[in-house]
Amino acid sequence: MSAEPRHSPGGSPPSRRPPAFDLVLFGGTGDLAMRKLLPALYRRHLAGLVEPGSRIIGIARTDHSTAAYVALAEAACRQHLGDDFRADAWPAFAATLGYARLDATRAADYAALGALLGDRGEVTRLFFLSTAPDLFAAICGHLAAAGIVTADSRIMLEKPLGEDAPSARRINETVGAIASERQIYRIDHYLGKETVQNLLALRFGNALFEPLWRRGQIRHVQITVAEQLGVELRGEFYDRTGALRDMVQNHLLQLLCILAMEPPATSAADAVRDEKLKVLRALRPIAEADALLKTVRGQYRGGVIGATKAAAYLEEPGVAADSRTETFVAIKAEIDTWRWAGVPFYLRTGKRLPEHVAEIVVTFDQVPHSIFEGPFSSQPPNRLVIRLQPDECITLRILAKSPGEAMRLKPVDLALDLGESFKGRPLEAYERLLGDAIQGNLTLFMRRDEVDAAWRWIDPIRAAWDLDDDGPRPYAAGSWGPAAASALIARDGFAWHGEL
Ligand code: NAP
């Protein structure tokens, strides 16, 4: 491990220029490529971070000329970058774009890709698999058979990485057969968010928090990722997946790991990932008998969000009329370590909730004894709110004396608006993650054993739900989920942030 370079969690040192690369983008015409990946690469180009000589090669089955592909990419970048799109810089970026028609399942199609890639010596080669995961095995097998994966090639994988521990293992074995772990970049785009890395900065860059970051000082932690959107055009996919697999197994557990891990010795990828893995392994399993007490699942019915009417989940296109898929999950998680014994971590995520918000709320213990007038309970505890979206800010609630004769305490917020404090545009998650992969920094990517440990914690919850005849509890679109979610946390004497 000592041989591992010490990258900053946010990427390689700025002094080092990123290498020229060949990025082969399987699923190059898909929604993710058009909405996120190509705009992120164009932003890197605008920032001068795409080395001359780099190539981005879109791959899909449909026949497109390179010119037609460039036109698709330009339209997507214009649409998704808005005012940040710079027409004058486009031609140089367009010159890096290419397209190859290839059916991922046809071995014969890979020879042409091999010829296109050729032998470009020092150029870093990346394969981004932005296709349905059932194509991963074919892609990996055919790439290897065609001799295209070099010892330094990198393979980037989008979620979902399986639907349970066995299927994730199969994917990991497939990819592991053609590349070593240091070549595999498993994406959880939450880890690419600036505020998530700020969490690392907050915890490990300041002496202030570490002594408080434990039982005896922290009472409980909440992690909420709420969406206003329903399933949109992904009904069929979502109905097979549900919120537990789509959100909790990856995004919420990754946030929990960053919050709860021990300080790593360095910011090197494996130092950080070793500590995250320990958290996942210390999560107390939720056995069948506990599942109904410690978890709540819900499914939205029709309702109103803002002023807009929203249809019920069961009326969404692609969703089975009798579906029992959950669109909302709340879980009480417990971490069996000295640091966290007795400190509950409440996780909550759902669709068709009243707000689009992702936030972490750390509630500290109350002072042990009040010297001030008024009921003790009127002195709310300190609270740290780390908001990841829509805006990125960190707020610490403290108590201060309100002006006047009487010694009355009132909560006030110390608020750090990261957008205001640091002028300059924050990197988008995919912009960061693509840059890190190009530069060989694995810190913000999930290691195989992390993915496996996360599924091992999730699978028994899923299995317990499958045995429960009642199915998910209904909630109105535009509400904060089923009442049982409030009861879950109220049983411990707490309330969800914003519900007080
Ligand atoms: P998509 O819009 O359905 O695009 C699929 C892409 O794969 C298209 O370019 C398609 O083009 C290509 N493709 C399909 N079959 C192929 C084959 N046999 N050989 C070569 N290319 C083939 O999917 P997406 O939304 O971009 O999602 C891609 C992956 O990322 C999925 O696993 C998804 O779950 C995951 N993901 C997506 C998002 C998102 O926001 N969209 C977010 C997170 C994760 P042709 O039909 O022309 O072949």
In the prediction, which pLDDT does 372 show?
Answer: 83
Q: Which of 208-212, 238-242, 424-428 has the lowest mean pLDDT?
A: 424-428
Closest CA to 353 of 496, 228, 486, 497: 228
Spatial distance between the Cα atoms of 162 and 207, rounded to a whole number of angstroms: 39
Inform me whether the pLDDT recorded for 13 exceeds 70.
no
In the prediction, which pLDDT does 12 show?
Answer: 43
In the prediction, which pLDDT does 14 show?
Answer: 44
Instruction: Name the pairing type of β-strands 303-305 and 97-101.
Output: unpaired
Spatial distance between the Cα atoms of 298 and 486, rounded to a whole number of angstroms: 12
pLDDT above 70 as % of the chain: 96
- Ligand 1 atom with least separation from CA of 34: 26
Q: What are the catalytic residues?
A: 251
Q: Which of 113, 130, 190, 237 to mutate to test the pocket of ligand 1 (most atoms within 8 A of CB)?
A: 130
Per-residue pLDDT reduced to its tens digit, 356-404? 999 999 999 998 888 887 776 668 899 999 998 898 889 999 999 889 8
DSSP secondary structure letter of residue 321: T
- Cβ proximity of 101 and 61 under 8 Å: yes
Inform me whether the pLDDT recorded for 94 exceeds 70.
yes
Per-residue pLDDT reduced to its tens digit, 218-252? 999 999 999 999 998 899 999 999 999 999 999 99
- Cβ proximity of 126 and 156 under 8 Å: yes
Q: Residues with beta carbon inside 6 Å of ligand 1?
A: 27-33, 59-62, 102-105, 130-133, 135, 158-160
Instruction: Name the pairing type of β-strands 21-26 and 55-60.
Output: parallel
Residue with the bigger pLDDT between 260 and 132: it is 260
pLDDT-derived band at 16, boundaries 50, 70, 90:
low
Tell me what the pLDDT averaged over the chain comes to: 93
- Cβ proximity of 264 and 274 under 8 Å: yes
In the prediction, which pLDDT does 10 show?
Answer: 43
In the prediction, which pLDDT does 371 show?
Answer: 86
Ligand 1 centroid – CA 488 distance (Å): 38
Collapsing DSSP states into helix, strand and coil, what is residue 373?
coil
Q: Which of 34-38, 371-375, 456-460 has the lowest mean pLDDT?
A: 371-375
Spatial distance between the Cα atoms of 270 and 275, rounded to a whole number of angstroms: 8
Q: Which of 29, 32, 106 to mutate to test the pocket of ligand 1 (most atoms within 8 A of CB)?
A: 32
Tell me whether the omega of the peptide bond preceding residue 166 falls within 30 degrees of 0, making it cis: no
In the prediction, which pLDDT does 406 show?
Answer: 83
Mean pLDDT in residue range 204-231: 96
Ligand 1 centroid – CA 62 distance (Å): 12
Sheet holding 154-157, edge to edge: 97-101, 55-60, 21-26, 124-129, 154-157, 184-186
In 10 A of CB 482, how many CB atoms?
A: 22
